[in-house]
Every structure is written in structure tokens, then in C-alpha cells.
Structure 1
Amino acid sequence: MTFTQNFTAVGDSLLWSAVVALIPILYFFWALAIKRMKGYIAGLTTLLVALLVAIFFYKMPAGMAVMSASQGAVYGILPIGWIIITSVFLYKITVKTGQFDIIRSSVLSITEDRRLQALLVAFSFGAFLEGAAGFGAPVAISAALLVGLGFNPLYAAGLCLIANTAPVAFGAIGIPIIAVEGPTGIPAMEISKMVGRQLPFLSAFIPFFLVFIMTGFKRTMEVLPAILVSGFSFAITQYLSSNFLGPELPDILSALVSLFATAAFLKFWKPATIFRFGAEQEMAAASATAKKSSENKVSYTSGQVFKAWSPFLVLTGIISLWGIPAIKLALAGHYEGTNAVLKAINPIGHSLTFMPEVPGLSNKVINTAGQPVLAVYKLEVLAAAGTAILIACVITKFITKISWGDWVTTLGETLNELKYPLITIASVVGFAYVTNSSGMSTTLGMSLAKTGSLFPFFSPLLGWLGVFITGSDTSANLLFGNLQKITAMSVGMDPVLAVAANSSGGVTGKMISPQSIAVACAAVGLAGKESELFRFTIKYSFFLVLIICVMTFLQHTVFSWMIP
């Protein structure tokens, strides 16, 4: 038995089909933003609603719908859940061994101002991790670091999600842009150039926006010089690297330039007043010896500071290595030519990558082109970013001299803390796969494509919707990239601009994606509080995607010279 996707399944009407396809999404919004359900309950019930819509309205056989959900759930555990487990595990090792106290002190030696700490950790360091690893690692690690520094967990998670908008389009060594070249036929370099003429404006704005969210306009202006250094150094590097080097390095280069430029600037410039959170400010005001105690803090040697940071330096090195395309292929058991070095990295070969077909689903779903759709459980063991982080955890065991017993106990504690977030992640990714297999996602995309002359304005919303559903800018580009191209050509819009807008708009949907929300809450110990984080980020997501919509429309109508 096969199932042919029908994008006008409800009454042969695209409009009514789109209304029905919106039901699971609207339910999820209601469950988190209004009903304030725990994340895993909202995820599981949203998956159930999606299954019912797919079966009863889109006429997808129940068995296929369930197996599609299982495919998504497996992907939710590996690689996404695997990254979260190992990221939180690494952080907990540094806490248990006392190394994080030294990390906290070293950051405070640069600045005790919470506004500037957010720029260094959430914006710059998070962007570096996005460029090297992607998936959930940037938010998980940077949010955990902020919590360790003393940030409120909800604030830390929310700020890191918002900061993560700037680098997402070039994440994981440029995979979102490289991947969309296939279905669209547009060279990745051209898309990279166009995205590099959109996102730098957002990247320059995000540091200001982050501090404004934290403290309001007046206190934001107090640190405006540092904000300008952080944002503009990132944005300029992002533009230059994306337009002259390609999509692989903009995040890594921009993040490093921003991080070092801001840190160096803070050696010579300090804000007039140090901003701390409410309770901290009260303690400082009540204590006449606050300044003296600050001066008498324990000082650490450079060797101690280096040792404390070394787990994250090791993490950075291994993740960067894992992200190099040739090495990634070797880790997955695929080699280009007979490179002996790559074969030495993974002498076992294909046995470390398992891709069994999903029973009852693979090649059973027929797309509108009449082609069967392959469905596999993609189980990358060695090549997964989570495995790279686990190796960093093993190396950290020897750096920190934690016993194997405590190491294993910490891992067990991590798994126990993350059991509900893992259920959340598995269910929401399952929901995404059901909407894709049944055709609901494409129905929604086709509906937005019907906006005619206003399509240049609505084009980024396709990317925003795609990332909300799938949790990935890469997946959103693969889902809607070709639809963007075809629609753009029909309404007189440059297809390069449309495809780039899909990626740029998608970055603003990352902060409200169910997967991202679950990852962020898991990292900061807020399992069950996903609704609070969703309510915190959703208004900012709408605001930022509106900026991209206006920008794209202006680039289509007024500033068309910006299109490569």
C-alpha cells in the first residue's frame, strides 16, 4: 500500500487544507503560551493532534503516520538529544570538580557587568559554537555557562535563544546554505552572498537588542560603545567572509573577531556603573565593603585559568575538527579517494553509520512528482556532534582528575535530569516529520506562495514557519527552498533573494521552535517550564521576522542593487 501526498486534501481546496494543517501548530501555541502545559505534555499531545490530522484529513494511512513519527523521534534522540546529554554532562563535570568557579572568576576579571557577560557568552561564544557544531550545542553550552555565572535560568535560556539568531544561517560549517543548492540549483556562493547582505544588519542589531531586553533603553546606552564593538565587528566580518570566502566560515570567523575585539576593548574601557541583577544590586548597596571584598577575591594563576577553560577549549577543537567536511565524511565511513589520513581517522568505515529503512514507510509515500520518498533512521554514531562532545568529556576526566566513579555518577545524574526534556524533543521532532510526510508543511508553504506581488514581503515567513516546524534552518531550506525559487520566478522576484530570505527568515524562528525551547530548558534545569520560555521568546521572534520581511521587500523593490 502506498500514500500519495495531496496538498489540497481537504475539499480539494488549498485554503481549507491550510486551515486544517494549521491546527497542530495553533494547538502547540495554545498549549504553551496560554495553557502553559509542561513541555513533554505539550509535545506529546501536539504529536497526537498532528497524527489525527494526518490520518483523518490528509488520508495518510495510520501505520505510515505512526512510523513517520517514529522516524522523527529517533532523529530527536540522535543526534539532537545526544548533543544535549553530552553538553550538559560536560558542564556538570566542570561544576562538580570546582573548575567552573575558576571560569566564573576569569569572566568576572574581564567584566562583572551582566550586560557585557551576555555579549561575550551568549552572542560571541554561542555564535562560535553554532558555526562549529550547530543543532542544540550553542544554546545548551552558552546558557549553562550563563547560569553558572549567576544568571536567572529563564533569562539565560531566553537570551541565548535570541542571540542565536545571528549565526544560524551559516551554522555547522555553512550546511543550511550548502544543502539548499541541491534542490534549487542556485550556487551556494550566490546564496551565501545574498544572506551576507541581509543578516549583518540583524547581527549588528542583536547585541543592542539583547541588552535592551535585559535592562531597558537607559542602561543599554551606558554600554553602547561595547555593544557597537561586539555587533559591528561581527557584522562586518560576517559580510566579508560570506561574500568573499563562502558559507563555511562566516560564523566561526565573525564570532572569534567579535569575542576578541570585545574582550580587548573591555581592557581599556569600562562602563560608568556595573549592572547586576536585582538581588545582586541590593546586596552591593547594603554592603559598604562590597568594593573591598571585590578587590580581595581569590586570584587564580594563568595556569589555573587555562586548566579550568581547557574542557571547553578541547570541546571547541574537537567540534571544529568534526565539522570539517572531509573529516565528517571519513567519520561517517566515506572517503574521497584513498586518503590514508582520513582512513586512519575511521578505519572501521561504514559499520559506524547505520541507516536502516523505516518499515512500512520507506518508498511508500509518493510525492507529487510521482516519486517514492526514501525514509531511513539515520544513526550516525561516530560522526555525531554529541560523540565529539563525549570525547571532550572523557578528556576532561583526565584534565580535572575526577574519578571514573564520580564521572559515571555525574553521567547518570545528567540522564536522570534530562529524561523529560528528551521525551519533549522526541515528540516535537516526531510532530515535524508527520507534518512533512503527510504534506501539511507543503500545504502551508504553497498558501503563503499565493500572496502574489506581496510574496517578497511574505517570503521570509516561509523560512520562519519551516524552522518553527522542523527546528532546523537546513531542514527549512530543503523543505521550502525550491518552492521559494519557483514562486519568485512567477511573481518577478529574483530567486536568489527568495531562497536567501528563506534562510534569513528561518533564523528568527529558531528561538520558538519546540526543539530549541526543549533544548534550552534542559540545559538550564527548567524541564517542565517550557511554556514560560516560549512566552518569553515568541514576541521577539515575531518582531525580528518582521524586520527580515521588510528588509526583503525593500531589497526587491528599492535596493535591488544589493542582489548579487
Structure 2
Amino acid sequence: MHAVGGSLAGTALLGLVPLAVFFVLLMVVRRSAFQAALGALVTALLVGVLGMGMPVRLGLLSASQGLLNGLFPIMLIVVAALWFYELTVVSGRFEDLRRCFNAVGRGDLRIQAMLIAFCFGGLLEALAGFGAPVAITAAMLMALGLPKLKSAITVLVANTAPVAFGAMAIPVTTAGNLTGIPPEDIAAVIGRQSPLLALFVPLLLLTLVDGRRGLRQLWPVAVVVGLVFAVAQYWCSAHFAYELTDVVASLAGFAAGVLMLRRWQPRTPDDQRSQVEAERLPARRVTLAVLPYVLVIAIFAVAKIHVGGLDMPDILSVATLKWEWPGLYGEILTPDGKPSTSAVYSLEVLANPGTLLIISGILVTLVYSLVKDRDQYPMSAALSVRTAGRTLVTLRGAIATVATVLMLSYVMNQSGQTVAIGTWLAAAGGAFAFLSPILGWLGTAVTGSDTSANALFATLQQTAGHQAGIDPTLLVGANSSGGVVGKLVSPQNLTIAATAVEEPGSERVLLRKVAKYSLAMLLVLCVLVYLQSTAVLSWMLP
């Protein structure tokens, strides 16, 4: 492993070169994420071949395996999730769901802003991700009467706690695919970290919207929403379907807020009343607006059933594609000389979240096509197919970027670069647990994607954990949790927020406003993960 003069430090620094190229191209040269990933991929191949002694053929084969993993299952899930969300938009039902959110809060702008930014934004993060929650909820807050920059800051801060489980928990699935750690185990660890943020984010949002007055007058409803969201996020991540964590948590938090407001009357100053009049929708329209989310929860629940002799995961796993990567398997060896399982490609065809989302979308299309008011809410199989095509076109840049990042990850992992870096960093010993979330924060802050951050650093965290004697699952989970608060300062997210509130060029102002919250939450996570790695809070882990 010590490819550079027998020195671990030298080998690790050489392995860091592709990551340095990626960050320099992205932040200094200001190239697109795809171009930066492509440049880093070429660099990783050169380092692997010239520095680590990897044959060119194996390097290219590693890249090809990463490409297929990036497309299936990772981007399949993302495309299916966004298509599912777009079906609610093109049918007009999404507008009814938005009205449901606008109608709550008894006309109090601060409560509506909190529920829309946190709960509705969390739901959008669960289904769409990739900046959609920030863009949509920022525009909604402006329509309610919240000032432009305040709207942007509010939704940026709100788009933290749900990020690790965004787009049907694709960051978790990605980390599991790369490390071989069951994604359910990673999700359970994250479910013991990110809910801590969820407890306090609603209170912070009230402060952002109306300062101390908003916090003093409305803290009870914020506590209820945050507590229910956090408990649901913890429960779903470990005991239900981790892919649905944000869906369940967002709907539960919203429902808790609505029930709270039926029994508790907020004091609303005149300057904090919403500019949008509440609209009472017929029960039928509310039911049809919520139906897609009920369906997707039901389908994922059925796929996880273990009752008596009925074991749906086992039944669905029958349709699993698995093969040893031709020309690569047997050439990549573990330290004990056995063929590495990293060179085995596996795809669950039926149990894959992407497949379950496609089934859900087909059912939504069928139901919406059969209802009688199609003149007002049009839906047909043809419209559904056209929407799928548009979704593919919309995501073509993201597909290329994520696939290239996965190619980079596979080349670095299978050439030994990641192992060298992780082993070197593990010299920090137990202190590495404190530093672990920072890697995830950095990866997401730069790339704008918790998925990309896990693709870059999940295997590195796993290696460092093994070498330092720290639970690797804890560190891989910490990587994703750290990425949660890195999203807050991501240039991509800042640009989306600035554009959504019609203030292009205000990214620096937004960064100055939100950076302190990002760093404060990162510090909390660093301390939490460190304590979880010791006897002090190890009881929190599954």
C-alpha cells in the first residue's frame, strides 16, 4: 500500500490529488460539477496507474463499474422520485397540497413559514431533492408576504435536517453500495444524529422570521412540530422503511402542528398576518392531493412486510441481478488475499426504491386518470410518459455528474487511494470521530449534494474507522449527517435560493447570514459523534 517511497503519508497525499483537483476545478477555476468530476476522474486514473501500480485495464474496468452503479440504482431512484413528484404538479394536485399548507396557521405568517419551509420542504426533499425544496418553498414564502432575503434564509436553514434522507434516502443507499455496510444500519445511525437538529430547527425558523417575539409567542407549536418530526425520523430510519424517513417525518410534523393549532390559539400581531387568505378546500380535493404520499408509504410498507410465513423482502429479492465484474473480479484482492466483493455488481430489481416509486407513479396515474374532474385536473398515461421524458431531460446534468463521481469513487477505492488516505487519517485515533462530520460537511458544501459527499468519502470513513478502532458505521453515518449542514452553505443551494426570490447576485449576502448557523450545527454534530464513539453516548447507537 505504501506506493510512494514506502511512506504511508506520501501515498496518502498522492491519493488526495484527485480530490484536490476536483475541489480546485469546482471552486477556483469555477468549472461545473460534471467537469470537475471528469477532471478528477482522469487524475485518479493517472494516480492509480502511475502512482499505485494499477494496470490501465483494471482502472478502466473500475470506472465502468462505477458508471453502472451511478446509473442503476442511484440515478434510477432519483429520476423515479422526481417523476413521481412531477406527476402531482402536472395533474394540478400539487397546487391543492400547497393550499392545504397555506390554509393552516390561523393566518399567522410565522407559523405558515415554519410549516412550509420545514415540513413541506422536508416532503419535497424526500421526493425530489436536488434544490427543488429551496426553490419551491422560497417562492411560496414570498407569496405569503415574507421579504425576499428573509424567505431565502428561512428555507436554506430549513433545508438541513431532512437532507440525509433526501430523494428517497439516496445518500444512504449510495453509502451502503460503496462500503458494503447495510444501508439500514447506516440509516439507523443517522437517525440517532440528525433528529437532534430537527428538534431545534423550527425554533430557529421562528427566530429568523420574527426575532425573539416570534420565539416567545409561538415556541409551543415549534416544539411540538420539531419533536414529532424528530421522533418520526428516528423511528422510521430504524424500524420502518428508511427510504420513507423524510416522507413520514414531514407529514407527521405537519399533522402535529395542525392538531396543536386546533387547541391552541397563537397571538398574531397585525404585521405578521399572512397576505394570502385561507382557502378551505373540499375534503375530496384534500384526499386526492394527499393520496400520492399515502400510496407510496403503503407500497414501501408492503415491500417490508414480515408476517408469519410472508416475508416480502425475501420474495422480492428473488429478482436480484448479481454478477462478478468481468475482468475485474479476482484481480482486486482484500488484505487476506481473497477476491474483493467490491468487484461484484448487484441490483435489486423489484425491491429497489426506484422500482417501488415507478409502481407508485403508475397507480397515481391510474387513479388520477379515472377521477371525473379531469377537465380541471388532467391526467392520462400519455401525459405521465411525457412527464417521465421531461424528467430525464431535466436531470441529464445531474445524471452525468453523479455517474462521473461514482466512477471517480470506484477508481480511488479499487486502486488503493482511499485506503491509503483513510489509514493515514486514522492516525488521529479516537479524535477522528470528532473530525468525521467535517468531511461530509466539506463534500456537500462544495458539491451541493450529500449523495456526492458520500460517494467521495464514505469508503474513506469506513477505512479510517477500521484503522482507528471506531465503529465504521458510525463514521459513515456521520459523513452523511455532516453533509446535512453543509448543504446550507453550498454555492449551488445559495444560487437556487437567490434566483427563487428574484435576487440574483445576493449569494454572498445569503452566505454571510447562514454560515454561522451551518458552523454551529456542524460543531454540535462533531461533539455528538465524538461522544457516541465513547462510552458517554455509545448507548445511543443501534
- 1:37 offset after TM fit, Å? 2.2
> Alignment partner of 2:344: what SS?
coil
Corresponding residue of 2:345: 377
The number of aligned residues is 496
Matched, 1:204 2:199: yes
Q: Which runs of 5+ in 2 are unaligned?
A: 143-147, 370-378
Q: Tell me the distance in 1 between the aligned counterparts of 2:515 and 2:328.
A: 34
Cα 1:137/1:240, change in 2 over 3 Å:
closer
Q: Tell me the distance in 2 between the aligned counterparts of 1:42 and 1:228.
A: 42
Q: Could you tell me which amino acid in structure 2 is paired with residue 508 of structure 1? A: G
1:457 aligned to 434, 437, 441, which one? Answer: 434
Q: Could you tell me which amino acid in structure 2 is paired with residue 427 of structure 1? A: T
Corresponding residue of 2:26: 32
- 1:109 offset after TM fit, Å? 0.9
CA deviation profile, 1:325-356 (whole Å, cap 9, x unmatched): 742332221xxxxxxxxxxxxxxxx4xx3223
> Alignment partner of 1:11: what SS?
coil
Q: Tell me the distance in 1 between the aligned counterparts of 2:176 and 2:401.
A: 29
Matched, 1:358 2:325: yes
Q: Tell me the distance in 1 between the aligned counterparts of 2:175 and 2:21.
A: 31
Corresponding residue of 2:162: 164
1:422 aligned to 357, 382, 399, which one? Answer: 399
- 1:549 offset after TM fit, Å? 2.2
Q: Tell me the distance in 2 between the aligned counterparts of 1:91 and 1:239.
A: 24
Q: Tell me the distance in 2 between the aligned counterparts of 1:460 and 1:361.
A: 32
- 1:154 offset after TM fit, Å? 8.4
Q: Could you tell me which amino acid in structure 2 is paired with residue 122 of structure 1? A: G
> Alignment partner of 1:366: what SS?
coil
Q: Tell me the distance in 1 between the aligned counterparts of 2:104 and 2:154.
A: 19
1:231 aligned to 226, 235, 246, which one? Answer: 226
Matched, 1:327 2:312: yes
1:104 aligned to 98, 103, 108, which one? Answer: 98
Corresponding residue of 1:116: 115
1:303 aligned to 275, 284, 301, which one? Answer: 284
Q: Tell me the distance in 1 between the aligned counterparts of 2:526 and 2:350.
A: 40
Is the Cα–Cα contact under 8 Å of residues 12 and 421 in structure 2 kept in the other structure?
yes
- 1:50 offset after TM fit, Å? 2.1
> Alignment partner of 2:345: what SS?
coil
Cα 1:121/1:45, change in 2 over 3 Å:
same
Matched, 1:549 2:540: no
Q: Tell me the distance in 2 between the aligned counterparts of 1:180 and 1:427.
A: 14
Is the Cα–Cα contact under 8 Å of residues 436 and 478 in structure 2 kept in the other structure?
no
Q: Could you tell me which amino acid in structure 2 is paired with residue 321 of structure 1? A: V
For 1:431-446, what aligned pairs fall within 5 Å after superposition? 431-446=408-423
Corresponding residue of 1:368: 335
Is the Cα–Cα contact under 8 Å of residues 92 and 410 in structure 1 kept in the other structure?
yes
- Root-mean-square deviation (CA, aligned residues, Å) is 4.9
CA deviation profile, 1:414-453 (whole Å, cap 9, x unmatched): 2222222211111111111112111222222212210146
Matched, 1:508 2:482: yes
- 1:322 offset after TM fit, Å? 3.4
Cα 1:430/1:410, change in 2 over 3 Å:
same
1:146 aligned to 127, 137, 143, which one? Answer: 137
Is the Cα–Cα contact under 8 Å of residues 461 and 545 in structure 1 kept in the other structure?
yes
Q: Tell me the distance in 1 between the aligned counterparts of 2:297 and 2:233.
A: 20
CA deviation profile, 1:47-102 (whole Å, cap 9, x unmatched): 22222222222222222112211111111111121122222222222222222221
| TM score, norm. by length of structure 2 | 0.73
Higher relative contact order (CA closer than 8 Å, sequence separation 6+): 1
Q: Could you tell me which amino acid in structure 2 is paired with residue 507 of structure 1? A: S
Cα 1:372/1:500, change in 2 over 3 Å:
same
Q: Tell me the distance in 1 between the aligned counterparts of 2:347 and 2:532.
A: 41
Corresponding residue of 1:78: 72
Is the Cα–Cα contact under 8 Å of residues 164 and 171 in structure 2 kept in the other structure?
no
Q: Could you tell me which amino acid in structure 1 is paired with residue 286 of structure 2? A: V
| TM score, norm. by length of structure 1 | 0.71
Is the Cα–Cα contact under 8 Å of residues 163 and 450 in structure 2 kept in the other structure?
no
Cα 1:242/1:407, change in 2 over 3 Å:
closer
Q: Tell me the distance in 2 between the aligned counterparts of 1:200 and 1:154.
A: 23
Is the Cα–Cα contact under 8 Å of residues 441 and 522 in structure 2 kept in the other structure?
yes
Corresponding residue of 1:318: 299
Q: Tell me the distance in 2 between the aligned counterparts of 1:460 and 1:444.
A: 16
CA deviation profile, 1:367-410 (whole Å, cap 9, x unmatched): 32222213133333322211111112212222222233322222
Q: Tell me the distance in 2 between the aligned counterparts of 1:274 and 1:54.
A: 65
Is the Cα–Cα contact under 8 Å of residues 436 and 461 in structure 2 kept in the other structure?
no
Among all aligned residue pairs of Structure 1 and Structure 2, give the percentage whose two residues are the same amino acid.
Answer: 26
Cα 1:222/1:61, change in 2 over 3 Å:
farther
Is the Cα–Cα contact under 8 Å of residues 10 and 17 in structure 1 kept in the other structure?
yes
